[in-house]
Amino acid sequence: EPEVTQTPSHQVTQMGQEVILRCVPISNHLYFYWYRQILGQKVEFLVSFYNNEISEKSEIFDDQFSVERPDGSNFTLKIRSTKLEDSAMYFCASSSRGGIYNEQFFGPGTRLTVL
Amino acid sequence: AQKITQTQPGMFVQEKEAVTLDCTYDTSDPSYGLFWYKQPSSGEMIFLIYQGSYDQQNATEGRYSLNFQKARKSANLVISASQLGDSAMYFCAMRGTGSARQLTFGSGTQLTVLP
């Protein structure tokens, strides 16, 4: 069964460093998302991406964040200068269509720890 | 704006018994989708079941069923014949119309199945 994959599973970085989180969505999916979950809290939407551009972003997704689909398979989230409060689990998700009835399939997550 | 409320931070159930996890929602969208995800201790998000706002019948998926009461704006998850492997965090989420295709999550319910 096709699945969303994410690398790395755990990333430790120093405050102020840049990190890139990588995702490979399900191959025939067209809509891509990033969510984050701070430890013990709810899952929060960061950004959605369709047709090679951002379609929606939350207030969390400020200028420190960017997303890219560098090739036909990868979808990346870059944090330019990490802060302590960026420590969280980051989930990538994809869906085949953007309709409200279409489930999003999540990857296993990348746990980011900022020291 | 959409809001999901899960009022049970933790629930216990005896193995083989049924359990209901509560979820209420608020939205001004005429059409919306409601979803349940399971998050085991390993961290991944597993899609369980969804209900469309115009669906006449309650959704079912194996041991999972969704008790959808539109007038009350509730979408409770029922797990029948609980198993030890059902112990996990459960998140209710919704998705509305318009340009926003992201999921809005509740705060989750930690379910523990007792042997």
pLDDT digit string, tens, across residues A22-66: 999 999 898 999 999 998 888 999 999 998 899 889 999 999 999
Specify the pairing of strand A110-114 against strand A10-13.
parallel
A70 touches chain B (CB under 8 A): no
Model confidence at B114: pLDDT above 80: yes
Per-residue pLDDT at A85: 95
Model confidence at B111: pLDDT above 80: yes
pLDDT digit string, tens, across residues B77-108: 999 999 999 999 999 999 877 555 788 999 99
Strand partners, A43: A37
- Would residue A52 be called left, alpha or beta, if left means φ above 0 and alpha means ψ between -120 and 50 degrees? left
- Would residue B29 be called left, alpha or beta, if left means φ above 0 and alpha means ψ between -120 and 50 degrees? beta
Say if the Cβ atoms of B44 and A58 lie within 8 Å.
no
Mutate which: B101, B104, B110, vs A, most A CBs within 10 A: B101
| Residues of chain B with C-beta less than 8 angstroms from the C-beta of A26 | none
Per-residue pLDDT at B98: 59
A111 touches chain B (CB under 8 A): yes
Contacts of residue B33, defined as CB under 8 A and 6 or more positions apart, other chains included, come to A100, A101, A102, B50, B51, B52, B53, B94, B95
pLDDT digit string, tens, across residues B29-76: 888 899 999 999 988 899 999 999 988 899 999 999 999 999 999 999
Q: Which residue of A has its CA nearest to B43?
A: A108
Per-residue pLDDT at B102: 81
Say if the Cβ atoms of B37 and A106 lie within 8 Å.
yes
| Residues of chain A with C-beta less than 8 angstroms from the C-beta of B105 | 42-44
* Residue of B100, B105, B108 with shortest CB distance to A56: B100
Say if the Cβ atoms of B33 and A102 lie within 8 Å.
yes
* Residue of A55, A100, A111 with shortest CB distance to B32: A100
Distance from CA of A40 to the nearest CA of B (A): 9
Q: Are B102 and A48 in contact (CB under 8 A)?
A: yes
Model confidence at A101: pLDDT above 80: no
Distance from CA of B99 to the nearest CA of A (A): 7
Helix, strand or coil, per DSSP, at residue A85: helix
Which residue type does A50 have? Y
Contacts of residue A54, defined as CB under 8 A and 6 or more positions apart, other chains included, come to A47, A48, A67
pLDDT band at B13 (very low <50, low <70, confident <90, very high): very high
pLDDT band at B23 (very low <50, low <70, confident <90, very high): very high
Distance from CA of A56 to the nearest CA of B (A): 6
Q: What is the rounded distance in angstroms from the CA atom of residue A36 to the CA atom of residue B80? A: 30
**pLDDT mean across residues, chain A:** 92
Q: How far is CA B44 from CA A91, A93, B71, B90, in A?
A: 8, 11, 32, 11
Q: What is the rounded distance in angstroms from the CA atom of residue A98 to the CA atom of residue B98? A: 10
| Residues of chain B with C-beta less than 8 angstroms from the C-beta of A35 | 102-103
Say if the Cβ atoms of B43 and A105 lie within 8 Å.
no
Helix, strand, coil shares of chain B, percent, nearest 5, are 5, 50, 45
Whether a cis peptide bond, with omega within 30° of 0, leads into A8 is: yes
